[in-house]
């Protein structure tokens, strides 16, 4: 009885210490998580830089942090400058367009059954009273918040600094950290821990290569199309396309909307060209390259990755883009192991 009481006290103390540790570290969980993801996905490049520095891990870590800093800061500064101008132009253009009564192109209005209904729907959507009461204030608020996010240099710089500081030590001491974590998990889960770690790692790679990199590629390809057809904000639309591409099959929402916008503006040829560009080039990456990359980097079904991404985004924000699929992948690994270990029923 006395021994049980001591165990309860020790367990309570351990739980209290863990709660206090979480309280202290909670402001840094997000940047540390990003640091782990960055370090894991770029570890092969770090190893190459370490070999170039004659095996000096500190020098290799410093070089890798400089590479990441350059790869993050330079594009962000460039995009921020471009987007501030384009957001203002979009707001002014939207106001000018809405000040006139929008009408469908002549060929669309003549479509049997659909033409009149489509025009009535467009009239309702572009009713000045409705727009002034809802859409324009929302658009102004959205653009203001986006510009505030871009301009919040101090907070973003602090988050980035913590991430890069963390990633430096993860690079430098990564092998020791992995050994300690592996040993701790082995104590809790036994031999199964190695398989779960491998599953989590392959899923992170699948999400990075299959979602993030392909999203960047889709945004770039779509941006070329936006620029070729003469849209006034190709950089903003390219960035929006990239963000929507993080959600599987979300990219068409952007380029189809842009194509329809051109059609409504009476630019039929440009609108059709953009729709064809999106269907043949942009969606090729989404429908073929992405599933191929994900399936080749992980043993989990693409549908499970799809649910993990959407559920993770809803539960954890942008970080959930990685956490959601990893959690589901580990659950799937446990499920498969349980199925493998169950006794085979007699015939």
Angle of CA points 198, 199, 200, to nearest 5°: 90
- Return the pLDDT at 118: 57
Please tell me the predicted confidence (pLDDT) of residue 92: 65
DSSP class of 232:
S
- Helix %, strand %, coil % for the chain, to 5? 85, 0, 15
Over the stretch 258-308, which tens digit does the pLDDT of each residue have?
A: 888 788 777 888 888 899 998 888 877 766 666 666 665 556 676 777 788
Average pLDDT over residues 63-90: 76
- Model-wide pTM > 0.75: no
Decide which of 11 and 293 is more confident: 11
| CA distance linking residue 64 with residue 49, whole number of Å | 7
8 Å CB contact between 164 and 69: yes
Chain position carrying tokens 């003549």: 110
Helix (H, G, I), strand (E, B) or coil at 74: helix
User: Does 77 or 169 have the greater pLDDT score?
Assistant: 169
Planar angle of CA 336, 202, 72, nearest 5 degrees = 150
- In this model, does residue 140 exceed pLDDT 60? no
């Amino acid at each position: 009885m006395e021994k049980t009481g001591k165990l309860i006290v020790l367990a309570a103390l351990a739980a209290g210490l863990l709660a206090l540790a979480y309280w202290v570290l909670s402001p840094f969980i997000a940047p540390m998580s990003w640091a782990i993801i960055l370090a894991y996905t770029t570890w092969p490049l770090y190893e190459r830089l370490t070999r170039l520095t004659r095996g000096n891990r500190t020098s290799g870590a410093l070089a890798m942090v400089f590479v990441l800093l350059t790869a993050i800061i330079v594009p962000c500064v460039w995009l921020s400058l471009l987007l501030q101008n384009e957001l203002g132009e979009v707001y002014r253009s939207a106001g000018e367009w809405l000040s006139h009564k929008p009408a469908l192109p002549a060929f669309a209005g003549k479509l049997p059954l659909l033409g009149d209904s489509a025009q009535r729907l467009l009239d309702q959507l572009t009713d000045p009273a409705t727009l002034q009461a809802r859409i324009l204030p929302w658009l102004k608020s959205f653009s203001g918040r986006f510009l505030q996010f871009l301009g919040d240099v101090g907070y973003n710089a602090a988050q980035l600094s913590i991430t890069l500081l963390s990633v430096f030590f993860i690079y430098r001491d990564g092998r020791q950290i992995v050994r300690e974590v592996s040993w701790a998990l082995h104590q809790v889960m036994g031999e199964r821990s190695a398989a779960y770690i491998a599953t989590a790692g392959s899923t992170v790679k699948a999400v990075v290569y299959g979602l993030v990199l392909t999203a960047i590629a889709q945004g770039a390809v779509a941006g070329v199309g936006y620029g070729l057809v003469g849209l006034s904000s190709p950089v903003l639309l390219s960035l929006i396309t990239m963000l929507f591409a993080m959600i599987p099959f979300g990219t068409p929402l952007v380029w189809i909307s842009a194509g329809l916008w051109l059609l409504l503006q009476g630019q039929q040829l440009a609108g059709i060209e953009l729709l064809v560009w999106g269907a043949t080039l942009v969606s090729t990456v989404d429908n073929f390259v992405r599933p191929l990359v994900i399936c080749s980097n992980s043993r989990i079904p693409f549908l499970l990755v799809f649910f993990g991404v959407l559920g993770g985004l809803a539960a954890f924000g942008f970080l959930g883009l990685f956490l959601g699929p990893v959690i589901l992948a580990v659950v799937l690994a446990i499920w498969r192991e349980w199925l493998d270990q169950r006794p085979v029923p007699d015939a």
